A and B are shown apart, each in its own frame.
Chain A
Amino acid sequence: MRRLIVLAAAVASASSLLGAADAALIERGKAEEKRCVGCHSLTIIGSQRLSKTGWERELDKMVRWGSDIKDREALMAYLVATYGDGKPMPKPTLSADASASK
């Protein structure tokens, strides 16, 4: 029993370490995303909800079209964590005239 508890504690602290590493990776990915603005704004990225495979395909397409990604691993981690297919859709952004009419 005791051994089990020790084991569980070890697993928990390892996963929180992993969590911190993930958070740092995701932070770097967020910075990498800012470099995606050469051809379009970031809004079109944040409105997608894609699986990991979906995001891999999307990045392949962007690279084919001339996007220069320096830190792909971090960008992927950020995209999947933030705009993964399980995430709820963002609230629509309304133009000033539309919000006025609401």
Chain B
Amino acid sequence: MIVHNDFPEDLESLPEYLSTWITPNDAFFVRQHLPRPRTSAETHKVEVGGLAANKLSLSIADLRKLPQVSVPAVLECAGNGRSYFRPKMPGLQWTKGAIGNAEWRGPRLADILAKARASTKAQFADFDGLDVGVGKTPDFIRSIPMRKLQHPSTILALDMNGVPLPDLHGGPVRLVVPGWDGASWVKWVSRIELADKMHTGFYMNPAYRYPKNPVAPGSAAKPEDLDVLEGMAVKSFFARPADQTKVQLGTPVTLTGPAWAGEHNVARVDVSTDGGATWKTASLSAQGREFSWRIWKSEWRPAKPGYYTLCCRATDTAGRTQPIEPAWNPSGYLWNAVDRVGVLVEG
């Protein structure tokens, strides 16, 4: 892994770890805002309160007794790719790998909210985890609107890829908000507060907001021109070959990587081996369920020696396609440029 920070842990997957449908837990990126709390599956409780007639205090065993659903879904940090923006902005300097696809399993939020008899006045639920800020650092609390919480794929995950959720990834229980930025996927969830308004803390405002209209690179955006980030962008990238690989002429080269599209589905991935002058459609792995990624593949037989710039570009069912230059934004979110790697073919 690429170590961006060891305390708290911010770890990025190398692109070559991302060539399979499921990203193994120990190769999955980690992004902690605040130091990891200590808790255990035996003692952990999730309190549900606020605008609910039936306040709850649920143990992990209680959560396991509810109907369990499996949701394969991509988790991507909103700031994935931030290091590529110019001018640069503060924040973790992720390259490609603050993303992974896992199978998450646990009860539906809709079932928990029904059990709590959520009031019809509730518009949001505020999710707080056991992690707390040091000094005057704000607590990490995220408000998720009811329409997304009622979605059958929005769950409290207790398992990740068939094992109890590791505490590095928010175990024993984290929120899974398929298609949305990683910041929504609150870890070590300890309190769910139903409310009629969005939470006003730092991690809802100004953090994790994106300009409604593009701003000039390097300029500020007025607070009222920013919206809460929700669904993620359409994106594909090269897991292989790695950038600056050398290959021998005559050996076919497999070009491959993942493609995903937030709340939409991937329709197509095109690849170019001449810097984007001409394009060819890649094959896509069988359609997984929505919210997970598909693996694209294309065989390449270079005709002659030389240096090649390979590109890949995904298009989704909503008609969105990867741009050459993603919109610069003050926090460096949603980098999804056409991906490129350079390959030297030796004769």
Return the contact of B88 from the options A43, A50, A98 (Cβ within 8 A): A50
Cross-chain contact B5 with A66 (CB below 8 angstroms): no
Instruction: State whether the Cβ of A13 lies closer than 8 Å to any Cβ in chain B.
Output: no
Instruction: State whether the Cβ of A94 lies closer than 8 Å to any Cβ in chain B.
Output: yes
Chain B contact residues, majority secondary structure? loop
CB distance from A89 to the nearest CB of B (A): 7
Instruction: State whether the Cβ of B193 lies closer than 8 Å to any Cβ in chain A.
Output: no
A39 nearest in chain B by CB position: B134
Return the contact of B135 from the options A38, A57, A95 (Cβ within 8 A): A38
Chain A contact residues, majority secondary structure? loop
- B interface footprint on A67-81 (CB within 8 Å = 1, 0 otherwise): 100000000000000
Q: Which residues of B contact A98 (CB under 8 A)?
A: 1-2, 14
Instruction: State whether the Cβ of B219 lies closer than 8 Å to any Cβ in chain A.
Output: no
Cross-chain contact B4 with A47 (CB below 8 angstroms): yes
CB distance from B140 to the nearest CB of A (A): 13
User: Which of A47, A51, A97 gathers the greatest number of chain B CB atoms within 10 Å?
Assistant: A47
Q: Which residues of A contact B134 (CB under 8 A)?
A: 38-39, 66
- A interface footprint on B1-12 (CB within 8 Å = 1, 0 otherwise): 111111110110
Q: How large is the interface on B (under 10, 10 to 19, 20 to 34, 35 or more residues)?
A: 20 to 34
CA distance A29 to B271 in the complex (A): 48
CB distance from B12 to the nearest CB of A (A): 8
CA distance A30 to B3 in the complex (A): 22
Instruction: State whether the Cβ of B112 lies closer than 8 Å to any Cβ in chain A.
Output: no
Cross-chain contact B93 with A47 (CB below 8 angstroms): yes
CA distance A43 to B32 in the complex (A): 14
Q: Which residues of A contact B10 (CB under 8 A)?
A: 44
Q: Which residues of A contact B135 (CB under 8 A)?
A: 38-39, 65-67
CA distance A85 to B89 in the complex (A): 9
Q: Which residues of B contact A85 (CB under 8 A)?
A: 87-88
User: Which of A43, A44, A49, A51 gathers the greatest number of chain B CB atoms within 10 Å?
Assistant: A44
Cross-chain contact A49 with B137 (CB below 8 angstroms): no
Residues of A near any B CB (own CB < 8 A): 38-41, 43-44, 47-51, 54, 57-58, 64-67, 85, 89, 92-95, 97-98, 101
CA distance A97 to B133 in the complex (A): 30
CA distance A101 to B1 in the complex (A): 10
Q: Which residues of B contact A48 (CB under 8 A)?
A: 88, 90, 93
CB distance from B100 to the nearest CB of A (A): 15
CA distance A41 to B1 in the complex (A): 17
Cross-chain contact A64 with B6 (CB below 8 angstroms): no
CB distance from A62 to the nearest CB of B (A): 9
CA distance A65 to B33 in the complex (A): 13
CB distance from A101 to the nearest CB of B (A): 8
Sample of 18 more A-B contacts, CB < 8 Å, known A41-B5, A58-B90, A101-B14: A38-B134, A39-B35, A39-B133, A43-B4, A47-B4, A47-B92, A48-B90, A48-B93, A50-B90, A54-B89, A66-B134, A66-B136, A85-B88, A94-B2, A94-B3, A95-B2, A97-B1, A98-B1
